[in-house]
């Protein structure tokens, strides 16, 4: 029997028993508290709160990405033009942070039709929400400090103010305030030590959040062409793995063009960012996206992060609502 | 020259001049302040903050609706099942408020592919965000009081804390804290006085927000079969019209079934709400959705509510982002 066999697929609201509803309600209260805490932290630090978009001509290519498992990309026609559902608002963030909103965040619903075989990993959804943020002029260290402060503040306050909910969820004693600064690992070292499956190994071995840096992926993350090092990062949580992905970003035209061509990403979907970069109007930024369901899933101690969703979005499992 | 000829279609971020960017940034700060104020008000009043969904088998039929002008309904297949983009989360709210979340709100992105001829009304978008909320056991009066308090608190605080932004937007003197309680009109009286165009007339004549009640529309709003009166409401703002739509809701099986059949709405898309009602598990609730772009558009004094969007969603006008 594998670990996945033990994970049940979270049921829709109408099928929950009274006890299950009470648990669902507790997780909902933790989600509410988390959203309030994080949005207040970002607003108080001068970030502008942008509303998300659902349909755009351009969205995240999610490629190359070592963790990708997308079964289908949704494209529809509106007003005679093809638009895609939001995979992430990374391109929107880069343009917005370079123009009217130097520091911004978005509670952004992302659609990623993951393969149905991921139903029982406990950590994949076909719709989820990122707290997606970006800051002009920031470097990786700034982002580390900001995220660590946001998470530590959240956990500290939660442990003080949500005792009853954490007790119901059996997390009162086991949820600890993480020590800062979080440890930082280089992906190259992890790969040397654990092989290709390093993500699975550290996810199951760590007991506190840890950063992993230097991960080859999409064109918009900063890559040093001389050293081959990537100035990007993931935050890993025990059990749930990557809860945040981010980077210092590329902003130079020739680098972006070279990488788009190298990755064989469709150039015509990224004409605006290329144009802005060519005109030197794309600014250096850094940012990240925090997966809300994974973060709250870790806090609440769920088996499947879809337990954090009022309307579960489990790969392969479509309910009426 | 009509009023609409004077309205320009808001440009995307990359095409704004320095002065226009400064204005955009001010509107963004008003949006941030508004989101923080409203979410804090709702959380402090015990409402749970739910994350939105984008694709569901069941969504708002938006029919019958006197104001509807939908050019296209988006339906796609995922995992072999047809799903629709969210027109509103009304059905989700009714199920959620009847089960794990008796008081809830959602910042819900809604997709409504409005006809392109609505590009220059200044008050239509093909994507917008509602602060959508619902409360078990509430009546219309409770909702009026809650919304009036939320709006008055917001405007009072904004006028105190966002003076510089309101000055740039030329709203420092003209934006007044509305007097409570807001006036309430019955749609029947307005129709008798102004004819079928009553919405346009009151939108241009009022100087403060006003409630309009008793509006025939979708099956889920409460209708008294004996008197023919609807226990529902819209909140109208000067210039922008309906900024909020809401109601006490139907929860009795036979009434819901009768109305779905009468309206010729596809019954198979609403099997869950019918099932819950039949089993007496649907609870009496009341709620509403506040259009964030219209609310902020009114506060900021824009000509087109797409000015409140970082990525304008003007009917008929699709940009790259």
pLDDT, residue B69, reads 86
Q: What is the ipTM score, two decimals?
A: 0.97
Burial tier of A245 (Cβ tally within 10 Å: 0-12, 13-18, 19+): buried
Mean of the pLDDT values across residues B252-281?
Answer: 97
Q: Tens digits of per-residue pLDDT, B54-79?
A: 999 999 999 887 677 899 999 999 99
Contact across the interface for B51 and A292, Cβ inside 8 Å = yes
Contacts of B205 (CB under 8 A, 6+ apart): none
Contacts of A113 in chain B (CB under 8 A): 78-79
pLDDT, residue A278, reads 98
Q: Tens digits of per-residue pLDDT, B68-117?
A: 789 999 999 999 999 999 999 999 999 999 999 999 999 999 999 999 99
The yes-or-no verdict on residue B4 having pLDDT over 80 is no
In chain A, what percentage of residues exceed pLDDT 70?
99
Instruction: Give me the helix-helix angle, B140-161 and B18-44, nearest 10°.
Output: 130
Q: Tens digits of per-residue pLDDT, A86-98?
A: 999 999 999 999 9
How close does chain A come to B132, measured CA to CA in Å?
Answer: 14
Q: Tens digits of per-residue pLDDT, B6-37?
A: 799 999 999 999 999 999 999 999 999 999 99
How close does chain B come to A57, measured CA to CA in Å?
Answer: 5
pLDDT, residue A6, reads 79
The yes-or-no verdict on residue B1 having pLDDT over 60 is no
Indicate the residue of A14, A43, A91 with minimum beta-carbon distance to B321: A91
Question: Helices marked H in chain A — which ranges?
Answer: 18-44, 90-98, 140-161, 163-168, 187-194, 198-205, 253-262, 271-278, 292-300
Indicate the residue of A51, A57, A272 with minimum beta-carbon distance to B309: A51
Token reading at B112: 């409504």
Instruction: State which residue of chain A sits closest to B20, comparing Cα positions.
Output: A100
How close does chain A come to B52, measured CA to CA in Å?
Answer: 7
What pLDDT band is residue B203 in, cutting at 50, 70 and 90?
Answer: very high
pLDDT, residue A65, reads 78
Contact B123, B298 (CB under 8 A): no
Contacts of A24 in chain B (CB under 8 A): 99-100
Contact across the interface for A79 and B317, Cβ inside 8 Å = yes
pLDDT, residue B232, reads 98
Contact A52, A89 (CB under 8 A): yes
3-class secondary structure per residue, B243-296: EEEEEEECCCHHHHHHHHHHCCCCHHHHHHHHHHHHCCCCCCEEEEEEEHHHHH
Q: Which of A215, A187, A218 is nearest to A201 (CA)?
A: A187
Strand partners of residue B111: B127
Contact A215, A66 (CB under 8 A): yes
Contacts of A276 in chain B (CB under 8 A): 14
B31, B109, B118: which to substitute to probe chain A, counting the most A Cβ within 10 Å? B109
pLDDT, residue A72, reads 92
Strand partners of residue A83: A76
Contact across the interface for A100 and B28, Cβ inside 8 Å = yes
Contact across the interface for A96 and B31, Cβ inside 8 Å = no
Taking the C-alpha atoms of residue A154 and residue A298, their distance in angstroms, rounded to an integer, is 13
Instruction: State which residue of chain A sits closest to B291, comparing Cα positions.
Output: A51
Q: Where are the beta strands (DSSP E) in A23-140?
A: 48-50, 55-56, 70-72, 75-78, 81-85, 103-111, 113-114, 127-136
Contacts by A253-261, CB closer than 8 A, 24 or more apart? A253/A277, A253/A278, A253/A280, A253/A282, A255/A223, A255/A225, A256/A219, A256/A220, A259/A219, A259/A223, A260/A219
Indicate the residue of A43, A100, A281 with minimum beta-carbon distance to B36: A43
Indicate the residue of B21, B281, B321 with minimum beta-carbon distance to A272: B321
Taking the C-alpha atoms of residue A170 and residue B136, their distance in angstroms, rounded to an integer, is 28
pLDDT, residue B188, reads 98
Contacts of A310 in chain B (CB under 8 A): 50-51, 92, 96, 100-101
Contacts of A272 in chain B (CB under 8 A): 14, 320-321
Taking the C-alpha atoms of residue B135 and residue B5, their distance in angstroms, rounded to an integer, is 42
Instruction: State which residue of chain A sits closest to B113, comparing Cα positions.
Output: A78
Instruction: State which residue of chain A sits closest to B85, comparing Cα positions.
Output: A54
Contact B172, B200 (CB under 8 A): no
Report yes or no on whether pTM surpasses 0.95. yes
Contacts of A281 in chain B (CB under 8 A): 14
Contacts of A274 in chain B (CB under 8 A): none
Contact across the interface for A78 and B113, Cβ inside 8 Å = yes
Q: Tens digits of per-residue pLDDT, B206-224?
A: 999 999 999 999 999 999 9
pLDDT, residue B123, reads 95
Task: Look at chain A and count its residues.
Answer: 321
How close does chain B come to A204, measured CA to CA in Å?
Answer: 28
Q: Which of B242, B221, B214 is nearest to B284 (CA)?
A: B221
Question: What count of CB pairs under 8 Å joins A to B?
Answer: 200
Residue ranges in chain A whose pLDDT is less than 70: 1-3, 66
How close does chain B come to A313, measured CA to CA in Å?
Answer: 9
Tokens 């963790």 label which residue?
A67
- Taking chain B, what is the end-to-end CA distance rounded to the nearest angstrom? 32
How close does chain A come to B133, measured CA to CA in Å?
Answer: 14
């Amino acid at each position: 029997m594998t670990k996945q066999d033990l994970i049940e697929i979270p049921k829709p609201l109408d099928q929950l028993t009274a006890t299950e509803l009470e648990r669902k309600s507790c997780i909902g209260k933790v989600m509410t508290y988390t959203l309030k805490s994080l949005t207040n932290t970002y607003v108080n630090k001068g970030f502008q709160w942008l509303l998300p978009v659902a349909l755009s001509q351009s969205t995240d290519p999610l490629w190359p990405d070592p963790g990708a498992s997308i079964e289908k990309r949704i494209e529809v026609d509106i007003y005679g033009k093809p638009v895609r559902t939001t995979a992430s608002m990374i391109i929107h963030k880069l343009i917005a942070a370079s123009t009217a909103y130097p520091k911004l965040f978005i509670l952004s619903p992302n659609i990623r039709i993951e393969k149905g075989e991921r139903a029982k990993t406990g950590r994949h959804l076909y719709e989820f929400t990122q707290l997606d943020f970006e800051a002009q002029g920031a470097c990786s260290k700034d982002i580390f400090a900001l995220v660590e402060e946001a998470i530590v503040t959240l956990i500290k306050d939660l442990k003080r103010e949500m005792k009853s909910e954490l007790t119901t969820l059996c997390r009162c004693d086991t949820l600890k305030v993480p020590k800062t600064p979080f440890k930082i690992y280089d992906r190259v070292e992890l790969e040397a030590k654990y092989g290709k499956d390093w993500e699975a190994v550290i996810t199951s071995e760590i007991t506190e959040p840890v950063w992993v840096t230097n991960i080859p992926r999409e064109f918009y993350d900063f890559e040093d062409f001389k050293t081959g090092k990537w100035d990007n990062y993931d935050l890993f949580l025990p059990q749930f793995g990557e809860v945040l992905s981010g980077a210092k970003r590329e902003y130079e035209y020739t680098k972006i063009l070279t990488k788009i061509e190298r990755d064989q990403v469709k150039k015509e979907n990224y004409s605006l960012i290329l144009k802005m970069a060519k005109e030197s109007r794309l600014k250096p930024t850094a940012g990240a996206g925090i997966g809300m369901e994974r973060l709250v899933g870790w806090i609440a101690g769920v088996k499947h992060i879809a337990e954090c969703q009022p309307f579960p979005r489990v790969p392969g499992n479509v309910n009426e609502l």
